[in-house]
Amino acid sequence: MKVLITGGAGQLGRAFYQRLRNKADVVACGKDQLDVTREAEVRARLAEEQPGLVIHCAALTDVDQCERDPEHAFRINSHGSFHVARSAAQAKADLISISSDYVFSAYSSTPYQPDSPPSPLSVYGASKWIGEQLTLQAHPRALIVRTAWLYGGHENDFIEKIVARTALQRTIPVVDDQIGSPTYVEDVVSYCLRLLASGQRGRVFHVTNKGSCSRYEMAKVIIESLQLEEAAIEPVKTVRQPGIAVRPPRTVLGLEQLPAVGLPEPAHWKPTLIHYLQERRQRR
Minimum distance from residue 101 beta carbon to ligand NAP (Å): 6
**What mask, x for binding ligand NAP by CB under 6 A, covers residues 151 to 190?**
---x------------------------------------
Minimum gap (Å) between residue 128 Cβ and ligand NAP: 6
Tell whether residue 9 is a contact of ligand NAP (CB under 6 A): yes
Choice among 17, 112, 124, 191 that is catalytic? 124
**Measured distance CA(19)–CA(80) in Å, rounded:** 25
Which of 149, 191, 205, 269: binder of ligand NAP (CB under 6 A)? 149
Binding range to ligand NAP, per CB under 6 A, among 87-95, 104-112, 143-151, 249-257: 143-151
Distance, CA of 272 to CA of 277 (rounded, Å): 9
Ordered alpha helix ranges (H), 22-80: 39-49, 63-68, 70-73
With CB under 6 A as the contact rule, the residue among 2, 19, 31, 141 that binds ligand NAP is 31
Q: Do 216 and 158 touch, CB atoms closer than 8 A?
A: no
Out of 100, 166, 200, 214, name the contact with ligand NAP by CB under 6 A: 100
Whole-number Å distance between alpha carbons of 122 and 104: 10
For residue 258, the SS3 value is helix
Q: At its nearest, how many Å lie between ligand NAP and the CB of residue 235?
A: 21
Binding segment toward ligand NAP, per CB under 6 A, in 28-36, 190-198, 251-259, 272-280: 28-36
Q: How far is the CB of 228 from ligand NAP (least distance, A)?
A: 22
CA angle 39, 6, 26 (to 5 degrees): 125
As a whole number of angstroms, the distance between CA 231 and CA 214 comes to: 18
For the CB of residue 15, give the shortest distance to ligand NAP in the complex, in Å. Answer: 8
- The stretch among 1-9, 63-71, 84-92, 107-115 that binds ligand NAP (CB under 6 A) is 1-9
Residue number of the CB closest to ligand NAP reads 10
CB atoms closer than 10 angstroms to residue 71: 9
Q: Which of residues 68-87 bind ligand NAP (CB under 6 A)?
A: 76, 80
Could you give the CA distance from residue 20 to residue 3 in angstroms, rounded to a whole number?
Answer: 8
Please state, in angstroms and rounded to a whole number, the distance separating the CA atoms of residues 98 and 188.
10
Q: Does 11 bind ligand NAP (CB under 6 A)?
A: yes
**DSSP-derived secondary structure for 103-154:** GS----SSPBPTTSPP--SSHHHHHHHHHHHHHHHH-TTPEEEEE-SEESS-
Residue 131 or 176: the one with the smaller Cβ distance to ligand NAP is: 131
Is 59 a binder of ligand NAP (CB under 6 A)? yes
Examine residue 12 and tell whether it contacts ligand NAP (CB under 6 A). Answer: yes
Identify whether 102 is a catalytic site residue.
no
Contacting residues for 184 by C-beta, under 8 A, at least 6 apart: 150, 151, 152, 209, 272, 273, 276
206-to-16, 70, 179, 242, 256 alpha-carbon distances in Å: 17, 25, 16, 31, 9
Total chain residues near ligand NAP (CB under 6 A): 28
Active site residues: 124
The contact set with ligand NAP (CB under 6 A) reads 6-7, 9-13, 31, 34-37, 57-61, 76, 80, 98, 100-101, 128, 147-150, 154
